[in-house]
Chain A
């Protein structure tokens, strides 16, 4: 048969033809994005593979014994933390965006500073403060006496408290920025029509703010689902902690992978729901305006009320933990425990976080660019796949990466490669999303103009595209840097031998109850984050002005 002959002759070129077809179909950019997403999906493949090894009876045991409790624990925690963050974040954002009061600029800072403190540091500090001889515990005892027990942090209430003060800043940031962009004439019209300020907030602001609130709460919920530090310190069994215990206590990877699959399913459902609800609220995006909102001056009474509320939030979310850290750090300095070894932890942390952030924005760019260039089912699914870092718990990502590197790239094992890969996968969604947002401001005509003027694709990229999105990239870098600096579970598993970072030391010292050693590490972590936060706030301001 001639056809057979033909194919025989063409056989060597077979893979080349597919390759050419691929390049034609998705372009070089698409191919690079494909490669990146494929690597990012390694932990997911690991989970799917391991859970496929789980026998039917294994699944049944999970369904009947573990899942109902875990589901209830995790979901109720997510709902409670979302409520907590909603109250804290929206109220503070509204005061700051709608009233002029003394120290307003300071208040903005106070509301985002909690981002610098990791959840496990919050958990560690508050368990100590709530003890009978801790600051809060002894105050409680002197006020209420023995009759009312000190609140127990090792409970859903305690975990909600910790995760709410650690996470409300995300809601604050997004809602404040939305409020500052929203059209004040709508509110003014409502006021003229005789609505009370509260009714205005309820009937005008809140509906308009829905997308921002939803986006903020989505971030919060994803953090709750993937939090490892606080829940493990407070022994509250969520999916993440349970998966970790399943792997480490029982060496049951299949069971852990099974639980991870359920968690992935939950998180993806949530993400898709969130995207869908946002897509229905597009009207909001067009509601921006150019008129500067004039802030109403707060009356004296209002000033007091505002500061009472903001002061209360910041007291628990920043001031108290900071005082505790500084107090114990001074103790450590007196004891002379801050030696060269300690500064080694600091530089290790900074190096890892900076390298991870840099790598993350480099690999995120093709994925984000591919999506904004040619919006297709393929590119959308890439964006979804790249958010795997948000939905898989850190320990699972670490194990997936570890298995992958040992099997495929074993010469790289032992150095930082495994850790960096895990960190990049974990925080890729942050980098992709903020670059995607920045790229949306780039109209195709600008790019086309560059091409018409004779710039090649690379030159165009370098001279037109990158400068235009540099702000977005810096914000992305900062976001990844902050999270990578705080990252605990993957670092615990994948750090090179003897290579300790600040989170690792906090973890070790906290479990050994050596406060004078945990405190300076935590303080350095906070200080290391501050320049990054400052940079982000400055960039945010610039983007607001530019727009």
Chain B
């Protein structure tokens, strides 16, 4: 019994020690990150090697981290927030969680890929595209994402659950480019076509299309290249939807970074952002995942269709945040699983 209590005391003591050790040191940045660790880590290691500034990554889902920032308010320890979704960044701005980043740093990034007030900036972009099986027949009519609602695709279409962030962002772009009614009909049609089997992950859609289980799928472009890197002979190709004169263009979304309103290390934080938007930082950040660097003049990976070579939907990224709730309501209304 005695030993039992002693063990308890020791573990309590350890806890206290550890808790006090967790207090932050001076030359250290704390980043709440909603992006995959493995895409961020190489970049951060380089940054630390260059500047000597340590970076602590606190990883979780972007939405959960935003929630945490919101509840913590001025007691937050976070200096920076990284999200894979422009919608989350914009919502954070609207919740007044961020502060403007120095203009000189972010003026290398185009206006439509950052916040109005400079409270967040896009770092890498991805495109909503179609993945098609090379051997699939009777798919010539598919020119637009809206064609995915065509009854001819019944049982042949792969889409994710509507709780997927990229799916939601895509729907927002389509709604803003066309109309609510059109998007509602489209969702209903896709629901019919996809059947009960919705995918939990984009990578599984690409795999299903590659193995011929499905003929066509709606995914982010990099999942195609990730699959092709592993299976170079996979019989799939990319189809850029909604091109041509009247097409609305491909929907984009960006991953980006914001600076906490309550950071006490503004200068260090801006150093990190400056590195992320530098040419080297851009190559690493976007390159880790075959995405498009947002900085003008930095090219994406060679296998990816070059930015500028195709039409992109004319919707500013901040709209993904301002319209998020409307889109969620729309999805609920249609009963999209």
Query: Which of A209-217, A245-253, A378-386 makes up part of the contact surface?
Result: A245-253
Shortest beta-carbon distance from A420 to chain B in Å: 7
Tell me which residues across on chain B come within 8 A of A245, comparing CB atoms.
Answer: 163
Asked if A498 lies at the interface with its beta carbon under 8 angstroms from chain B, I say yes
Cβ contact of A498, chosen from B36, B56, B75, B163, cutoff 8 A: B56
Q: Complex formed: what's the CA distance from A152 to B72 in Å?
A: 40
Tell me which residues across on chain A come within 8 A of B24, comparing CB atoms.
Answer: 497
Tell me which residues across on chain B come within 8 A of A514, comparing CB atoms.
Answer: 38
Tell me which residues across on chain B come within 8 A of A76, comparing CB atoms.
Answer: none
Q: Complex formed: what's the CA distance from A493 to B197 in Å?
A: 31
Tell me which residues across on chain B come within 8 A of A497, comparing CB atoms.
Answer: 22, 24, 30, 56, 58, 77-78
Asked if B111 lies at the interface with its beta carbon under 8 angstroms from chain A, I say no
Q: Complex formed: what's the CA distance from A497 to B76 in Å?
A: 10
* CB neighbors of B among A413-428 (8 A): 413-417, 420
Q: Complex formed: what's the CA distance from A362 to B78 in Å?
A: 34
Q: Complex formed: what's the CA distance from A26 to B198 in Å?
A: 58
Asked if A402 lies at the interface with its beta carbon under 8 angstroms from chain B, I say yes
Asked if B182 lies at the interface with its beta carbon under 8 angstroms from chain A, I say no
Interface readout for A460-474 with B: 1 if CB under 8 Å, 0 if not? Answer: 000000110010011
Asked if B107 lies at the interface with its beta carbon under 8 angstroms from chain A, I say no
Q: A359 near B12 (CB under 8 angstroms)?
A: yes
Q: B328 near A496 (CB under 8 angstroms)?
A: no
Q: B91 near A406 (CB under 8 angstroms)?
A: no
Q: A416 near B1 (CB under 8 angstroms)?
A: no
Tell me which residues across on chain A come within 8 A of B72, comparing CB atoms.
Answer: 402, 406, 413
Tell me which residues across on chain A come within 8 A of B4, comparing CB atoms.
Answer: 470, 473-474, 477
Given contacts A154-B198, A154-B200, A399-B71, 17 further A-B contacts (CB under 8 A): A127-B200, A131-B204, A235-B161, A248-B66, A355-B15, A402-B68, A403-B71, A416-B22, A477-B4, A493-B64, A497-B22, A497-B58, A497-B78, A498-B30, A498-B57, A508-B37, A514-B38
Q: A251 near B70 (CB under 8 angstroms)?
A: yes
Asked if B112 lies at the interface with its beta carbon under 8 angstroms from chain A, I say no
Shortest beta-carbon distance from A416 to chain B in Å: 5
Q: Complex formed: what's the CA distance from A497 to B36 in Å?
A: 17
Interface residues on B, range: 35 or more
Tell me which residues across on chain B come within 8 A of A420, comparing CB atoms.
Answer: 15
Known contacts A245-B163, A416-B18: does B38 contact A251 (CB below 8 Å)?
Answer: no
Name the residue of chain A whose CB is nearest to the CB of B197: A152
Tell me which residues across on chain A come within 8 A of B163, comparing CB atoms.
Answer: 235, 245, 249
Known contacts A403-B71, A492-B64: does B200 contact A235 (CB below 8 Å)?
Answer: yes
Tell me which residues across on chain B come within 8 A of A470, comparing CB atoms.
Answer: 1, 4
**Could you jot down 5 A-B contacts, CB within 8 Å?**
A127-B200, A406-B72, A414-B22, A416-B19, A497-B77
* CB neighbors of A among B1-56 (8 A): 1, 4, 7-8, 11-12, 14-15, 18-20, 22-24, 30, 36-38, 56
Cβ contact of B203, chosen from A65, A351, A477, A513, cutoff 8 A: A513
Shortest beta-carbon distance from A467 to chain B in Å: 6
Tell me which residues across on chain B come within 8 A of A415, comparing CB atoms.
Answer: 18-20, 22-23
* CB neighbors of A among B250-270 (8 A): none
Shortest beta-carbon distance from A335 to chain B in Å: 13
Shortest beta-carbon distance from B201 to chain A in Å: 7
Question: Number of A-B pairs whose CB atoms are under 8 Å?
Answer: 110
Q: B15 near A498 (CB under 8 angstroms)?
A: no
Shortest beta-carbon distance from A484 to chain B in Å: 12
Q: A355 near B64 (CB under 8 angstroms)?
A: no
Q: A132 near B211 (CB under 8 angstroms)?
A: yes
Asked if B243 lies at the interface with its beta carbon under 8 angstroms from chain A, I say no
Asked if A410 lies at the interface with its beta carbon under 8 angstroms from chain B, I say yes
Tell me which residues across on chain B come within 8 A of A399, comparing CB atoms.
Answer: 71
Tell me which residues across on chain A come within 8 A of B23, comparing CB atoms.
Answer: 414-415
Q: Complex formed: what's the CA distance from A500 to B4 in Å?
A: 27
Cβ contact of B71, chosen from A132, A355, A406, cutoff 8 A: A406
Q: A406 near B56 (CB under 8 angstroms)?
A: no
Known contacts A65-B332, A351-B11, A474-B4: does B22 contact A406 (CB below 8 Å)?
Answer: no
Q: B75 near A406 (CB under 8 angstroms)?
A: yes
Interface readout for A492-522 with B: 1 if CB under 8 Å, 0 if not? Answer: 1100111110000000100011100000000
Asked if A354 lies at the interface with its beta carbon under 8 angstroms from chain B, I say yes
Asked if A358 lies at the interface with its beta carbon under 8 angstroms from chain B, I say yes
Q: Which 9 residue pairs spanning A and B have beta carbons closest together?
A: A415-B19, A358-B8, A498-B56, A248-B63, A354-B11, A355-B15, A416-B19, A496-B22, A470-B1
Tell me which residues across on chain A come within 8 A of B271, comparing CB atoms.
Answer: none
Q: A498 near B328 (CB under 8 angstroms)?
A: no
Tell me which residues across on chain A come within 8 A of B64, comparing CB atoms.
Answer: 248, 492-493
Tell me which residues across on chain B come within 8 A of A498, comparing CB atoms.
Answer: 30, 56-58
Known contacts A251-B70, A354-B11, A496-B19: does B77 contact A414 (CB below 8 Å)?
Answer: yes
Interface readout for B159-203 with A: 1 if CB under 8 Å, 0 if not? Answer: 001010000000000000000000000000000000011101101
Asked if B73 lies at the interface with its beta carbon under 8 angstroms from chain A, I say yes
Name the residue of chain B whose CB is nearest to the CB of A154: B200
Q: A355 near B1 (CB under 8 angstroms)?
A: no
Shortest beta-carbon distance from A401 to chain B in Å: 11
Name the residue of chain B whose CB is nearest to the CB of A149: B197
Q: Complex formed: what's the CA distance from A358 to B7 in Å?
A: 9
Shortest beta-carbon distance from A140 to chain B in Å: 14
Interface readout for A98-140 with B: 1 if CB under 8 Å, 0 if not? Answer: 0000000000000000000000000000010001100000000
Q: A248 near B58 (CB under 8 angstroms)?
A: no
Name the residue of chain B whose CB is nearest to the CB of A507: B60
Asked if B135 lies at the interface with its beta carbon under 8 angstroms from chain A, I say no
Name the residue of chain A whose CB is nearest to the CB of B211: A132
Asked if B323 lies at the interface with its beta carbon under 8 angstroms from chain A, I say no
Q: Complex formed: what's the CA distance from A508 to B1 in Å?
A: 39
Q: Complex formed: what's the CA distance from A535 to B161 in Å?
A: 44
Tell me which residues across on chain B come within 8 A of A496, comparing CB atoms.
Answer: 19, 22
Q: A355 near B14 (CB under 8 angstroms)?
A: yes
Asked if B134 lies at the interface with its beta carbon under 8 angstroms from chain A, I say no
Known contacts A415-B22, A496-B22: does B91 contact A251 (CB below 8 Å)?
Answer: yes
Q: A248 near B75 (CB under 8 angstroms)?
A: no
Tell me which residues across on chain A come within 8 A of B7, comparing CB atoms.
Answer: 354, 358
Name the residue of chain B whose CB is nearest to the CB of A351: B14
Known contacts A406-B73, A512-B36: does B67 contact A467 (CB below 8 Å)?
Answer: no
Asked if B325 lies at the interface with its beta carbon under 8 angstroms from chain A, I say yes
Tell me which residues across on chain B come within 8 A of A132, comparing CB atoms.
Answer: 211, 213
Asked if B59 lies at the interface with its beta carbon under 8 angstroms from chain A, I say yes
Q: A248 near B61 (CB under 8 angstroms)?
A: yes
Q: Complex formed: what's the CA distance from A154 to B211 in Å?
A: 20
Name the residue of chain A whose CB is nearest to the CB of B203: A513
Name the residue of chain B whose CB is nearest to the CB of A234: B200
Name the residue of chain A whose CB is nearest to the CB of B57: A498
Q: B1 near A466 (CB under 8 angstroms)?
A: yes
Q: A355 near B38 (CB under 8 angstroms)?
A: no
Name the residue of chain A whose CB is nearest to the CB of B11: A354
Cβ contact of B67, chosen from A247, A406, A473, A512, cutoff 8 A: A247
Interface readout for B196-231 with A: 1 if CB under 8 Å, 0 if not? Answer: 111011011000000101000000000000000000
Q: B201 near A355 (CB under 8 angstroms)?
A: no
Shortest beta-carbon distance from B9 to chain A in Å: 8
Shortest beta-carbon distance from A5 to chain B in Å: 48
Q: A355 near B20 (CB under 8 angstroms)?
A: no
* CB neighbors of B among A311-358 (8 A): 351-352, 354-355, 358
Q: B197 near A358 (CB under 8 angstroms)?
A: no
Q: Complex formed: what's the CA distance from A477 to B211 in Å?
A: 50
Tell me which residues across on chain B come within 8 A of A403, comparing CB atoms.
Answer: 71
Shortest beta-carbon distance from A242 to chain B in Å: 11
Known contacts A251-B67, A474-B4: does B18 contact A413 (CB below 8 Å)?
Answer: no
Q: A402 near B63 (CB under 8 angstroms)?
A: no
Q: Complex formed: what's the CA distance from A354 to B11 in Å?
A: 6
Tell me which residues across on chain B come within 8 A of A416, comparing CB atoms.
Answer: 15, 18-19, 22
Known contacts A250-B325, A406-B75, A474-B4: does B19 contact A512 (CB below 8 Å)?
Answer: no
Shortest beta-carbon distance from B30 to chain A in Å: 5
